Structure 1
Amino acid sequence: MKRQRSPKRQPKPVKEKKPRKLKQPRVGIRRKTTWLCWLILLASVSFGVYKNFTAINKHTVHEREIVKVKLTDTNAIEAFVTDFAKVYYTWEPNQEKLETRQKDLGKFMLNGLVTLNADALRSDIPTTSTVSDIRIWKVEAKKNQVNKVLFTVNQQIKNSQKEDIPKPIESTYSLNVMKNKDGDMVIFTNPTIAAAPTKAKIAEKQLQTDSTINAETTGSITKFLTTFFTLYPSGTANELKYYVAGGTKPLNKDYRFAELVNPTFHRQGDNIQVDATVKFLDSETDMIQYSQYTLVLEKSGSNWTIKSGL
């Protein structure tokens, strides 16, 4: 018998490999990178909002420096120095009165200064002095509550050995006064000779009428101003409003207009500026008053009006 061969084994079926799924990147707030991005975004937005509220716009914001002027009341110092000067510059050759003067100086000066001035006047002095006027020119604040005072004293000096008529003497001095926070004062420097203020020197301008203004215009304005200043001293508010823009307060004075003295005319845009001296006669005192005005006139139609200057 032939041996029967066993059938060949059937090959195992090959399993098909499933394709690997590619992992999709997960995007979400749980990722560290995403957290970092969100934090950066939030920080940027917050910083932008902060800068928007706090940044200075250099084009629209302008700083202003406000300077406050501090006014110092010098009335008390002026009164103190005036009372002192009346005592200091008044004397007569009488021992009792000189002693009283010396005692009164102690109300104003340091004791050392009172002692310094003890021998300034003797009982045999031939002169008598009275104070006729005291003028305070300047009170200048210094350091440590000190004020420097400049003043002038007018004295009437009578010398018994030379003449009977008092001689006027004018002298200017400076001294230092300390005023504490309670308002108490003391003089701690002796009156020292000083220079009084004098007349200031300035260059006077000679005004001339603009060559562009013709004689017809100057004549018209002169006629208008003559009419106005004739009415002005005694005119009512209702009458003056026809000559002055917005009206003006009445003077209620008994002045008589005499003339315009050397008026000059200058063009100021569409208006005319007039510099004029007006001569009035004061009927109450019989004195001639020279009043000076710089007026700006405007013309409406054929009529002139004073725009400003009164």
Structure 2
Amino acid sequence: MKLPFSKKEKQPKLKQRKKVKIKTVGKRKKSVVLLWILLLSSIAFGIYKNFTAIDQHTIHEREVVQANIIDTTAIESFTENFVKEYYSWENESEALEERTEKLADYLTEELQAINIDMIREDIPTSSSVQNINIWSVSEETENNYSVVYSVQQKITEEKDSSFTNATYRIVLHQDEQENLVITQNPTMWSQPNKSNFVPEQAENNGTVESATEQEVTAFLEAFFTSYPTATDQELAYYVKDNILPPIEKKYIFSELVNSVYQELDGQIKVWVTVSYLDETTKAKQLSQYEFIIEKDTNWMIVE
């Protein structure tokens, strides 16, 4: 049995740990200063961007096309005056010389030279303009306009006369003072013809009851009987907000033609042709209307 160690006995020595050397970086070293500068700069820049950041939104661009309204009154009047002179002549040398002088007020010098031989001195016909129709005026380039027109001429040769119609196109220039000159000679063109468009026809769709149809018909007959001679005050009983103007004509109501009624959100949509007899011309006058009526204390045209 082992006895406990006495105080004097040597205790076994504990193994001492090796000290780990810790390398400290001095606060004043250049590399540390540089790192601090970068860190602080990053923080400052982030704060700056946060306060000055611009919100980004999706921008939907919309192109706005503005209609360029051109006053064509001067161009049309200039064209009509030119047509009267250009397509009129007599088979007399003096009249032909006068015509040439008048055309100088409309044509460039180049076009005057081109047209000098248009009408020969020995021409056997004379011509007078009977009618002019201007079909279109359009801007070709800045200050240059094309005009399409038709002209009807009466051609006389000796004792015989005939009528001719033709369509032409010219080009005019308008300067800053709004003066005009023709820069392209009358050139054969096509006249607008009748379109094949057929509008959709309204039909009764059964949404208006028979009794209501009779009421509406009676209202319309009463209104259109008095309408031609009705004053503003009288119209106010039938029409809201002056939707239909007073006409003050001697028309005698005849009948309603092709009346169509459709119920629409408590109102009645009406399509109707009204037949009148014109006391002045003794001819039948057919007017077509499309409006909305509703009933409060009485039926009234409201839209």
Give the TM-score category using the shorter length: 0.7 to 0.9
Scaled by the length of structure 2, what TM-score is found? 0.77
Please name the residue that 1:155 is paired with. Answer: 153
Alignment deviations for residues 44-100 of structure 1 (CA, whole Å, 9 cap, x no partner):
45433433xx43544xx8655433222222222222222222222111111122122
* 2:252 maps to 1:250: no
SS in structure 2 of the partner of residue 212 of structure 1 = coil
Question: Aligned pair in 2 of structure 1 residues 172, 63: CA closer, same or farther (>3 Å)?
Answer: same
Tell me how far 1:264 sits from its aligned partner: 0.9
Please name the residue that 1:263 is paired with. Answer: 259
Please show how residues 50-89 of structure 1 align to structure 2 within 5 Å: 50-51=52-53, 54-58=54-58, 64-89=62-87
Q: Which residue identity does 1:288 align to in structure 2?
A: K
Alignment deviations for residues 123-154 of structure 1 (CA, whole Å, 9 cap, x no partner):
22111111122222112212353322211112
Percent identical pairs in the alignment equals 34
Question: Aligned pair in 2 of structure 1 residues 198, 270: CA closer, same or farther (>3 Å)?
Answer: same
Please name the residue that 2:17 is paired with. Answer: none
Alignment deviations for residues 192-246 of structure 1 (CA, whole Å, 9 cap, x no partner):
1111111222124343211232322211211111122222223333333332334
Please name the residue that 1:28 is paired with. Answer: none
Mapped to 1, the partners of 2:162 and 2:183 lie a distance apart of 30
Question: Aligned pair in 2 of structure 1 residues 34, 67: CA closer, same or farther (>3 Å)?
Answer: same
Please name the residue that 2:137 is paired with. Answer: 139
Q: Which residue identity does 1:94 align to in structure 2?
A: E
SS in structure 2 of the partner of residue 167 of structure 1 = strand
Question: Aligned pair in 2 of structure 1 residues 233, 33: CA closer, same or farther (>3 Å)?
Answer: farther
Given the alignment, which residue of 291, 297, 302 partners 2:287?
Answer: 291
Question: Aligned pair in 2 of structure 1 residues 252, 65: CA closer, same or farther (>3 Å)?
Answer: same
SS in structure 1 of the partner of residue 184 of structure 2 = coil
Question: Aligned pair in 2 of structure 1 residues 219, 182: CA closer, same or farther (>3 Å)?
Answer: same
Given the alignment, which residue of 96, 106, 109 partners 2:107?
Answer: 109
Mapped to 2, the partners of 1:298 and 1:33 lie a distance apart of 84
Q: Which residue identity does 2:247 align to in structure 1?
A: L
Tell me how far 1:294 sits from its aligned partner: 0.8
Tell me how far 1:292 sits from its aligned partner: 0.8
Q: RMSD of aligned C-alpha atoms?
A: 2.8
Scaled by the length of structure 1, what TM-score is found? 0.75
Q: Which residue identity does 1:48 align to in structure 2?
A: N
Please name the residue that 2:9 is paired with. Answer: none
Given the alignment, which residue of 196, 199, 210 partners 1:201?
Answer: 196
Mapped to 2, the partners of 1:247 and 1:149 lie a distance apart of 39
Question: Aligned pair in 2 of structure 1 residues 116, 247: CA closer, same or farther (>3 Å)?
Answer: closer
SS in structure 2 of the partner of residue 86 of structure 1 = helix
Question: Aligned pair in 2 of structure 1 residues 63, 129: CA closer, same or farther (>3 Å)?
Answer: same
Mapped to 1, the partners of 2:156 and 2:227 lie a distance apart of 51
Q: How many residues align?
A: 271
SS in structure 2 of the partner of residue 191 of structure 1 = strand
Given the alignment, which residue of 167, 174, 177 partners 1:172?
Answer: 167
SS in structure 1 of the partner of residue 116 of structure 2 = helix
Q: Which residue identity does 1:126 align to in structure 2?
A: P
Unaligned runs of 5+ in 2: 1-32
Q: Which residue identity does 2:64 align to in structure 1?
A: I
